[in-house]
Structure 1
Amino acid sequence: MGENDSIGLKKGERAAKYSTIANFSLAIIKAVVGVLSGSIALLADAVHSFSDIFASLAVFIGLKLSQRKPDEKFPYGYYKFETLSSLIISVIIIISGIEIAIESINGIITPKPISMPLTAIAVALISVFVSFFLARLKDRVGKEINSPALINDGKHSFVDIFSSFIVFFGILSAYIGYPIFQGFAGFAVAMLIIYIGIKFGKEAVLVLLDANLDPKIVEKIKEIAINFEGVEGAHDIKVRRSGPYVFAELHLETEKRLTIQKANEISEGLEKRIKNVVNDLDNIMIKIEPENKLVVRIAIPVDKDEGLNSIISKHFGKAPYFLITDVNKDNIKNLQIKENPAATIEQKRGLKTVKFLKNEEVNIVLFNGKINEGPSYALSDELISVVKPNGENLKDMLLNAAINDDIL
């Protein structure tokens, strides 16, 4: 977890703390006025606000724990504590919704007039404005730090706006002589709250079960991987979310002759590129698997164009031609003789020959002579093997070279 991540989590922690204080104050006011006025709708809204207190407290605790660094007991960090707190929020939302529904049904069956209606109306209006402010705050901060728990809590506060407005409408209706509307208002709010709770709870459970909730991230990672230099293919890409962060793993297919140094370069470079694109990515595990090629391309330096009757040249960079062919099991196909564009060049002849072979997508060079240090390193960097000729004729040499290189 970097410094920016820590700052973000602390910012979310502050938002959750302010929300808890505001909801606690609002809940006390609504509870007192609800009891004194006898307003079922306002009492139900007070119960709802108390549930918000526990919800905000759960988010606060989750964000606080998420800031802990990984240790021996939790090597992947404490991020899932936030997801767990999000699940707790969902349960609290559902329970409070059921409680409001029960109270509202009682209010419909036995409607009662309320006392202190103007005070109750004023409290309901204050609740609307406070809920709006808290919803905007938590939604904005939650999106900034990519906190699902804080975003969910913010959405819950948006529900509070409508629920408080419906409560206001119910109390106003009771004030003008229709107390039954308090019950209907409360029941409508309860159904909406229960729906939101189930929706958030389902998402939290899926995250805790390491479900992939965003297939687009998998597609994005695969696209980056297969277009990365040195990577032949990518498979078994797995993505899971832990709190506000994403963890991923993938298997890469590469050339079998890949060196450890080159493998590390590919792994580190690919990880950096993926993290630049997937902003929420905390960690990615990359496993490199050598690809078993069915077809291998072999090049042989030759002095004359005589097909499979050509004689292997004693020179690498000076060789005027290269016999290039594909070997598939026991078959030799696509045989062609190509001029070596570097043969007539005075300087860096060997390095330019390597570049020519790379452009021809050669895997193996069949050669028994001496290759200077520079071109030899260049061949190794380009994952081109040099195999000594072994066989009575060129055909046998080609087949043996492929087998001895352990590719087929």
Structure 2
Amino acid sequence: MEKKTSNRLKKGETAAKYSTLVNLFLAIIKGVVGVLSGSIALIADSVHSFSDIFASLAVYIGLRFSRRKPDEKFPYGYYKFETLASLVISVIIIITGFDIIFESLNGILTPKTIEIPLIALSVAVLSVAVSLLLARYKERVGNEIGSPALISDGKHSLVDVFSSIIVFVGILSAYIGYPVLQSVASFAVALLIMYIGLKFGKEAILVLLDACIDPGIVENIKSIATNFEGVEGVHDIKVRRSGPFVFAELHLGTKKRLPIQKADEISRSVEKLIKKEINDLDTITIKIEGEKKLILRIAAPLVDNKGLMSNISKHFAKSPYFLIADITNGKIKKFQIKKNPSLIYERKRGLKTVEFLKNEDVDIVLFEGEVKEGPTYALSDELIKVLSPDGITLEEILLNAAIKEQQ
């Protein structure tokens, strides 16, 4: 897992590095041509690209720190440095938006003509093409490694595509005689940039505050754990993000008498299934708790079939009938009397009886005689508890057993 984590972070680090170099190239080209042509829109776009450089640099530094191994000071690792970098990106985007608004308002008040317009238009087209390729590349790598900062940086590059298109339209408008429109275009780009910056900033702050921003993951964990055999209940699921990874914890309810070894086996199996399903999951903490059942199913071997007036048999596997009752809140909710299907077998009749009780989902069997060693172990393995009858009538015996179990 450690090697896999390191490879993912290294891949994201490489993507951020390439992004920085490409944006540096775009920023210099747009800045030089913007100054030479006198295009406010292109200069603003250049400033925007320089902000991308600092944003990509922040992601690079964040991912670099994230690769550090946990230590005494940071026992949960350095993953949140990546989220902190994402917050830095958002702040840079917002500041850049303010800068572009200021420049745009100046341009609207004092429109200027553009020199070398064809070169300025060519640079705007180049910016559109490169930004589109860069956006797709960073989002693809970000999704592969589960990096929110790289994904947000990719979306920011996608914003660059639209802003460069608007800049192109503004420069084209100035070229045909409407110089004020390039400043209007810059103003529109600034508003879009600030919206994206605020959105990314909100997500980063929520992650840093350990807010649950992945409700789908919570439902997925609950579904996997609930459907696992031996799990009686799932509750207190908590999920938080730390950089590109997810940390989770949950409580599993099992049968009250579950042996420690069996509980540990269930815990490890559930953890393995959840990690297999959720690729971003780094660590999951599972706490096993004995679940108190609201409805107890109690079985009793019977001599005859007279409803609640029946008599309990002193034979386990040879009993002709079994009463199976559901008891809740100190009352018998329902009961049924079934023929013992194991009577047709000559051998292993006790084990067949246990199998029958298991299929009926019995929690307790009432019996005052001795059960052979094989069926005793089988009952224990299936977590079916054996209690001696306590009471006079069958109804009293059933209710006393339920009270004793739930104490």
> Equivalences for 1:231-270 in 2 at 5 Å?
231-270=231-270
Cα displacement string for residues 258-302 of structure 1 (whole angstroms, at most 9, x for unaligned residues): 221222222222222223333322222222332323432222223
State whether residues 235 and 252 of structure 1, in contact with CA within 8 Å, keep that contact through their aligned partners in structure 2: yes
**Which residue of structure 1 aligns with residue 120 of structure 2?**
120
Aligned positions of 1:35-46 closer than 5 A:
35-46=35-46
Q: What's the CA shift for 1:307?
A: 4.7
Find out whether 1:345 has 2:345 as its counterpart.
yes
Aligned 8 A contact 1:340 1:353 in 2: yes
Contact 2:163 2:189 (8 Å CA) reproduced: yes
**What per-residue deviation string (whole Å, max 9, x for no partner) do you get for residues 14-59 of structure 1?**
1110010111122122223323333222221111111000000111
Deviation at residue 329 of structure 1 after TM alignment: 5.0
Give distance in 2, aligned partners of 1:189 and 1:372.
82
What SS does the corresponding residue of 2:21 show, helix, strand or coil? helix
CA contact (8 A) 1:318 1:344 kept: no
Q: Secondary structure at the match of 1:343?
A: helix
User: Cα distance, 1:394 vs. partner?
Assistant: 4.3
- The reply to whether residue 289 of structure 1 matches residue 289 of structure 2 is yes
1:205 is aligned to 205
User: Secondary structure in 1 aligned to 2:112?
Assistant: coil
Measure, in 1, the Cα distance between the counterparts of 2:119 and 2:206: 44
The alpha-carbon deviation at position 154 of structure 1 amounts to 0.9
Partner of 2:223: 223
The residue that corresponds to 2:19 in the other structure is: 19
Equivalences for residues 312-331 of structure 1 within 5 A: 312-331=312-331
Kept in 1: contact 2:330–2:402 (CA 8 A): no
How do 1:293-304 and structure 2 match up within 5 A? 293-304=293-304
Moved more, 241-250 or 200-209: 241-250
Helix, strand or coil at the partner of 1:234: strand
Task: State yes or no: 1:31 paired with 2:53.
Answer: no
After TM superposition, the runs of 4+ consecutive aligned structure 1 residues lying more than 6 A away are none
Query: Is 1:3 aligned with 2:7?
Result: no
Q: Which residue of 2 aligns with 1:51?
A: 51
Deviations 1:82-137 (A, max 9, x none): 11111111111111011011001101101122333333333223222221221121
- Give the Å deviation of 1:233: 2.3
Q: Which stretch has the larger CA shift, 91-100 or 169-178?
A: 169-178
Q: Secondary structure at the match of 1:400?
A: helix
The separation in 2 between residues aligned to 1:191 and 1:222, in whole angstroms, is 41
Name the structure 1 match of 2:386.
386
Q: Deviations over 1:355-408 (max 9, x none)?
A: 111122211112233323332222122111112234455444433333333x25
Q: How far 1:2 moved relative to its partner? A: 4.3
**Residues 72-87 of structure 1 mapped to structure 2, 5 A cutoff:** 72-87=72-87
Provide the C-alpha distance between the structure 1 equivalents of 2:84 and 2:261, rounded to a whole number of angstroms. Answer: 41
8 A contact 2:97–2:190 mirrored in 1: yes
- How far apart are the structure 2 equivalents of 1:285 and 1:79? 18
SS in structure 1 of the partner of residue 293 of structure 2: coil
Secondary structure at the aligned position of 2:287 is classed as strand
Structure 1 distance, partners of 2:303, 2:230, is 32
Alignment CA distance shift 1:333-1:136 (3 Å):
closer
CA distance in 2, matches of 1:337, 1:170: 85
What are the equivalent positions in structure 2 for 1:123-134 lying under 5 Å apart? 123-134=123-134
Secondary structure at 2:252's aligned position in 1?
strand
Q: Assess if the C-alpha contact under 8 Å between 1:301 and 1:367 holds in 2.
A: yes
| Cα distance change of structure 1 residues 46 and 364 upon mapping to structure 2, 3 Å threshold | same
How many residues align? The count is 407
CA distance in 1, matches of 2:368, 2:331: 23
2:33 and 2:330 mapped to 1: Cα distance? 90
Where do 5+ consecutive residues of structure 1 fail to align? none
* 1:125-177 deviation line (CA, Å, top 9, x unaligned): 32222212211211211122221111111111111122222223333333343
Change (3 A) 1:194 1:330: closer
Residue 197 (structure 1) shift: 0.8
**1:388 partner letter:** S
Q: What CA distance in whole angstroms lies between the structure 2 residues aligned with 1:212 and 1:172?
A: 46
Report the TM-score when normalising by structure 1.
0.91
Structure 2 length normalisation: TM-score? 0.92
Distance 1:289 1:56 in 2: 46
What residue number does 1:184 align with?
184
The alpha-carbon distance between structure 1 residues 253 and 24, as it changes in their structure 2 partners (threshold 3 A), is: same
Residues in 2 aligned to 1:238 and 1:305: alpha-carbon distance in whole angstroms? 50
* Stretch moving more, 69-78 or 386-395: 386-395
Amino acid at match of 1:155: K
Segments of structure 2 that go 5 or more residues without pairing to the other structure are none
Give, as a single letter, the amino acid of the residue that structure 2 aligns with 1:378. Answer: A
CA distance in 1, matches of 2:291, 2:136: 52
Contact 2:330–2:403 (CA<8 Å) still a contact in 1? no
Inter-CA distance 319–270: structure 2 relative to 1 (3 Å threshold): same
**Counterpart position of 1:274:** 274
Counterpart Cα distance in 2 of 1:322 and 1:19: 73
How far residue 63 of structure 1 moved from its aligned partner, in angstroms, is 1.6
Partner SS, residue 78 of structure 1: coil
SS in 1 for 2:343: coil
